[in-house]
């Protein structure tokens, strides 16, 4: 009788091992954000981001274990308003290691929503390999009534294990939609339906545990545009915001503080106020790269339309808004100071 029980247990263990060997291995890198947020009231927007550890977040969604073997790793535990270059470089390097590992099939990154589009874009420019990399967050903390984190996390893992996600570059999954990293933008400060891709639209959606794609990203994943394996620091690049009656103070301060690049979040099609023009010309004379972008959320900042870019040696950001233009300019400046070459990078977007 005892030997029969041992045999049964051994068979059960073998069955369990075989089942888990069949499931994809998903590595979850946690960085904090509202998805890991905790508050004292379930009905208020007051809470502290990044309080809950990744193990607890995963335990709260046991359904994930039915579709994947999941390993969690806490990289940092911050609100994404505090995201910085060092953490971006750390994440890119770690994901590149995981891309090269035989025991990992896909990566999920939990992240605050405030700067998620910047991190997604940075990773999309610096991570190689075709294994899915899916970023996810939440608009409501884990303690809220109808918290959106658990379903978002489940949908992110669903997307990560879908064969259709292979080679699509870094993806963002929020509120049942799948976005490409290049196009995704946070569009609402508080609503759970906070993300959109105003120029390209969503790539697809997740419904009933299935990722469905309706479009492909313009730039497929695979080869990273920038190799950051030997990079420990990124060049200093700032953003100057355009508005009626703007003063040149911010641009002058960036020149004084030896910024290597300035992104101008212009009005309309990257138009520049007359108060600012001379300061931006001065920046350019000092070798600082000036990128014209727009504070408008959709449409391109196009080359040679409103401004004679060739004459002033300004770069036009095309479809990248100021925050993403800054990311691309920082990475471009690790390679070159040639404004034409840098324009050629922007022309890919
Ligand atoms: C954050 O970005 O960390 C706070 C806000 C959020 O995650 O929604």
Strand, coil or helix: what is 291?
A: strand
Q: pLDDT tens, 281-309?
A: 999 999 999 999 999 999 999 999 889 99
pLDDT band at 15 (very low <50, low <70, confident <90, very high): very low
Q: What is the mean pLDDT of residues 91-98?
A: 98
Higher pLDDT, 249 or 146: 249
Residue 301 lies in a domain: yes
pLDDT band for position 86 (cuts 50, 70, 90): very high
Cβ–Cβ < 8 Å for 4, 139: no
pLDDT at 145 over 70: yes
C-alpha 87 to ligand 1 mean position (Å): 16
Confirm if 31 and 80 have CB atoms less than 8 A apart: yes
Short-list 124, 132, 126, CA closest to 166: 132
Residue 9 pLDDT = 55
| 34 part of the active site | yes
- What pLDDT score was predicted for residue 87? 98
pLDDT at 201: 97
Kindly report the protein residue whose alpha carbon is nearest to atom 7 of ligand 1: 112
Domain boundary among 154, 178, 213: 213
Query: Residue 231 domain-assigned?
Result: no
Higher pLDDT, 46 or 121: 121
| Same-domain check for residues 198 and 263 | no
Question: What percentage of residues in the chain have a pLDDT greater than 90?
Answer: 85
d(CA 135, CA 120): 7
Query: Does 204 share its domain with 257?
Result: no
Q: What is the pLDDT of residue 39?
A: 81
Q: Do 197 and 153 reside in the same domain of the chain?
A: yes
pLDDT band at residue 10, thresholds of 50, 70 and 90?
Answer: low
The gap between the terminal CA atoms of the chain, to the nearest Å, is: 69
Q: Is 173 exposed, middle or buried (0-12, 13-18, 19+ CB in 10 A)?
A: buried
- Residue 298 resides in a domain: yes
Q: What secondary structure letter does DSSP report for 230? A: T
Q: What is the pLDDT of residue 94?
A: 98
- Residue 253: give its domain's CATH number: 3.40.50.40
Distance 124 CA to ligand 1 centre (A): 20
- pLDDT of 227 reads 97
DSSP code per residue over 248-281: THHHHHHHHTT-SEEEEEEBTTTB--HHHHHHHH
Residue 117 has pLDDT above 50, yes or no: yes
Judgement on whether residues 190 and 273 belong to the same structural domain of the protein: no
Q: Which residues surround ligand 1 with Cβ inside 6 Å?
A: 33-34, 49, 79-81, 112-114, 137, 139
Same domain, 58 and 193: yes
210-247: pLDDT as tens digits: 999 999 999 888 889 999 999 999 999 999 999 999 99
| Residues 72 and 28 both lie in one domain | yes
Residue 80 lies in a domain: yes
CA of 334 to the centre of ligand 1 (A): 29
Same domain, 209 and 259: no
Rounded mean pLDDT of 99-122? Answer: 98
Mean pLDDT score, 179-204: 98
The whole domain housing 175 covers 23-213
pLDDT in tens, 241-253: 999 999 999 999 9
Q: The CATH number of the domain where 133 resides is what?
A: 3.40.50.1170
Q: Residue 237 has what pLDDT?
A: 98
The pLDDT-based confidence of 19 (bands split at 50, 70, 90) is very low
Task: Please tell me whether residues 152 and 248 are part of one structural domain.
Answer: no
Task: Tell me if 203 is assigned to some domain.
Answer: yes
Q: Which ligand 1 atom sits nearest the alpha carbon of residue 37?
A: 7
Q: Where are the beta strands (DSSP E) in 195-322?
A: 195-196, 204-207, 210-213, 237-241, 261-266, 289-294, 315-316
Is residue 6 classed as helix, strand or coil in its secondary structure? Answer: helix
Is the model's pLDDT at 178 over the cut of 80? yes
Co-location of 207 and 245 in the same domain: no
Question: Is residue 8 assigned to a domain?
Answer: no
Q: Which pLDDT does position 216 carry in this prediction? A: 95
The Cα 318–Cα 284 span in angstroms is 19
Residue 130 falls inside a structural domain: yes
Q: According to the model, what pLDDT value does residue 250 have?
A: 97
Give the global pTM.
0.93
Confidence of residue 312 (pLDDT cuts 50, 70, 90): very high
Q: For residue 12, is pLDDT > 70?
A: no
> Ligand 1 mean position to 194 CA, how many Å?
11
The number of folded domains in the chain is: 2
Q: How confident is the model at residue 42 (pLDDT cuts 50, 70, 90)?
A: confident
Residues 255 and 183 grouped into a single domain: no
Same domain, 209 and 324: no
Nearest to 99 by CA among 200, 163, 27, 187: 27
**Would you give the DSSP letter of residue 38?**
B
Return the C-alpha torsion angle 148, 150, 153, 157, nearest 10. -140
Residue 228 within a domain: no
With the most atoms of ligand 1 within 8 angstroms of its CB, the residue from 30, 35, 49 to mutate is 49
Q: Which one is catalytic: 18, 31, 34, 119?
A: 34
pLDDT band of 5, cuts 50, 70, 90 = low
Q: From CA 1, how far away is CA 75, in angstroms rounded?
A: 49
Q: Does 339 lie in the same domain as 248?
A: yes
Q: Which of 113, 172, 174 to mutate to test the pocket of ligand 1 (most atoms within 8 A of CB)?
A: 113
């Amino acid at each position: 009788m005892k030997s029969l029980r041992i045999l049964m247990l051994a068979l059960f263990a073998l069955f369990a091992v075989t089942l888990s060997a069949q499931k994809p291995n998903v590595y979850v890198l946690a960085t904090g954000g509202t998805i890991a947020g905790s508050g004292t009231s379930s009905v208020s927007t007051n809470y502290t981001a990044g309080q809950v550890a990744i193990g607890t977040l995963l335990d709260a969604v046991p359904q994930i274990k039915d579709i994947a073997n999941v390993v969690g790793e806490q990289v940092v535990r911050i609100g994404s308003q505090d995201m910085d270059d060092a953490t971006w470089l750390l994440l890119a390097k770690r994901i590149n290691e995981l891309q090269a590992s035989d025991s990992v099939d896909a990566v999920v990154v939990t992240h605050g929503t405030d700067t998620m589009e910047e991190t997604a874009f940075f990773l999309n420019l610096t991570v190689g390999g075709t294994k899915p990399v899916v970023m996810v967050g939440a608009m409501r903390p884990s303690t809220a009534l109808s918290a959106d984190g658990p379903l978002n996390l489940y949908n992110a893992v669903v997307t990560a294990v879908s064969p259709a996600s292979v080679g699509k570059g870094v993806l963002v999954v929020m509120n049942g939609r799948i976005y490409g990293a290049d196009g995704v933008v946070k569009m609402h400060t508080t609503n759970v339906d906070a993300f959109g891709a105003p120029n390209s639209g969503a790539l697809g959606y997740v419904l009933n545990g299935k990722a469905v794609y309706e479009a492909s990203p313009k730039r497929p994943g695979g080869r990273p545009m920038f190799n950051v394996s030997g990079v420990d620091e990124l060049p200093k690049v700032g953003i100057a915001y355009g508005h009626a009656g703007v003063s040149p103070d911010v641009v002058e301060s960036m020149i004084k503080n030896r910024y290597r690049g300035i992104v101008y979040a212009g009005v309309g099609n990257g138009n520049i106020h007359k108060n600012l023009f001379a300061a931006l010309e001065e920046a350019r004379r000092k070798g600082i790269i000036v990128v014209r972008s727009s504070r408008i959320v959709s449409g391109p900042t196009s080359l040679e339309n409103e401004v004679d870019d060739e004459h002033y040696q300004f770069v036009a950001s095309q479809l990248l808004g100021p925050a993403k233009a800054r990311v691309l300019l920082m990475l471009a400046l690790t390679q070159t100071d040639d404004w034409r070459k840098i324009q050629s990078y922007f022309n890919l977007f």
